[in-house]
Structure 1
Amino acid sequence: MSFSNAKVLSEEPLENVHAVWTKLVKLNYRDCKGQLRTWESAERTTRPKSSGIDGVGIVAILEGPQGPRIVLQKQYRAPIDKICIEVPAGLIDEGETTEEAAVRELKEETGYVGKASETTPMMFNDPGFCNTNLRMVHVTVDMTLPENLNLQPQLEEDEFIEVFLVPLADLYEECKRFEAEGYAIDARVGTFAEGIEVAKRWKLV
């Protein structure tokens, strides 16, 4: 696998009737002063009927002699035509809980087997543009389990993911280094890294 092969070759308009995962909508709303306004929005069409959220992001931190390290991955993203530094993530399936989705996605994308330990409040990725939302799920990974020493990811045919670990203490500096090298930083990774720096600066822990 070579990420250098991935590249956007062309771009063209897409009508809602031909879209598989998303649609564009025009919203008519009343603002805080009672004035009528309109807004253009994108919406996912994949949200399960049994769920109030679209997907999950996964915080998996491995403990060991090297100190705590977070599980990250590189994945080419066509909308930005770049390789993105991300946490494992994915959409929720019908009838699946948030925690079940997180454990499943972690296994499929990285091979790590874990247990959900904490789930965050609902978050919106870009509320000025779309209604996509998610919950971050902290997953505990027991590195004494044989399956976590011999990782077996279960990627789909169109998934190309490179998994790697970064020391938590270095995450912010690593984000800056990745950006300088031409990678895109997923907001979940960047915000998590910045939160660690804020905690350091203000001695919150």
Structure 2
Amino acid sequence: MSLNKSRVLRTEPLDYKEAKWATLVKTTYTDPEGVERTWESSERLTRPAGSDIDGVGVVAILQDPSKPESEPRILLQKQWRPPVDATVIEVPAGLIDPKETPQQCAVRELREETGYVGEVVDGGFGVSPVMFNDPGFCNTNLRMIHLTVNLCLPANQNPQPELEDNEFIETFSIPLKDLWAECREFEKNGYAIDARVGTLAEGVECARRWKL
């Protein structure tokens, strides 16, 4: 099924009693001058008790040890998203389960969404600090988990995703060094760019331009 065949049929107000994933709240606070103000925002309803995050984003880098000269490729996805009525270029991602570590969540989501088996990068780069997607609007947050995918492993020879019946995801990869240019091309062709992908692309381009 082509993702581009999806379309929004209607949009209507949602009664808060029907909300399963998020709700709207009004926060009353005082500003630095002591003035009382209010703020409208959204809150996630799915964060497990005891967890400091809602989910993870996965930076999965494909590597072939048998070809050491080959350049690293980043695993991306195309997925139509109703809120923006567009097919979005994304990294694998998902909500964290109760008592699951961010690393476990990332490995599981990568396997379920793409079929690939990944390994968390050693050291402090494997798990990012907690990041808030849009703190002026929502308390949703995540950690970015960095994985490598060894293409020589038997499990990664013919990856088969385990998608849910409401998931229609197309997985592909591009050279990591071309991420910025590819994002520009995707936008020209009518795709929306997830902020996590765009931020990664900017980081790669900044490192190249300023020779970091």
Q: Tell me the TM-score normalized by structure 2.
A: 0.94
Please name the residue that 2:86 is paired with: 82
SS in 1 for 2:83: coil
- Among 169, 173, 191, which residue is 1:165 paired with? 173
- Alpha-carbon distance in 2 for matches of 1:74, 1:63: 21
The answer to whether structure 1 residue 24 and structure 2 residue 28 are counterparts is: no
Q: How far has the Cα of 1:33 moved from its partner?
A: 1.1
Q: How far has the Cα of 1:141 moved from its partner?
A: 1.2
Please name the residue that 1:189 is paired with: 197
- Alpha-carbon distance in 1 for matches of 2:3, 2:57: 23
Contact 2:43–2:139 (8 Å) recurs in 1? yes
Contact 2:76–2:92 (8 Å) recurs in 1? yes
SS in 2 for 1:23: strand
Q: What is the aligned-residue RMSD (CA, Å)?
A: 0.8
The answer to whether structure 1 residue 13 and structure 2 residue 17 are counterparts is: no
After superposition, give the CA deviation of every residue in 1:116-174 in whole Å (9 maximum; x if it has no partner). 22000000000000000000000121211111011011100100000000101111000
Gaps of 5+ in 2: none
SS in 2 for 1:37: strand
Please name the residue that 1:146 is paired with: 154
- Alpha-carbon distance in 1 for matches of 2:61, 2:4: 29
Amino acid at match of 1:183: Y
**Percent identity among equivalent residues?**
62
- Alpha-carbon distance in 1 for matches of 2:79, 2:204: 24
- Alpha-carbon distance in 1 for matches of 2:147, 2:36: 45
Please name the residue that 1:104 is paired with: 108
Please name the residue that 1:62 is paired with: 62
Please name the residue that 2:117 is paired with: 113
SS in 2 for 1:58: strand
- Alpha-carbon distance in 2 for matches of 1:47, 1:176: 34
Q: How far has the Cα of 1:39 moved from its partner?
A: 0.3
Amino acid at match of 1:27: T
Please name the residue that 2:38 is paired with: 38
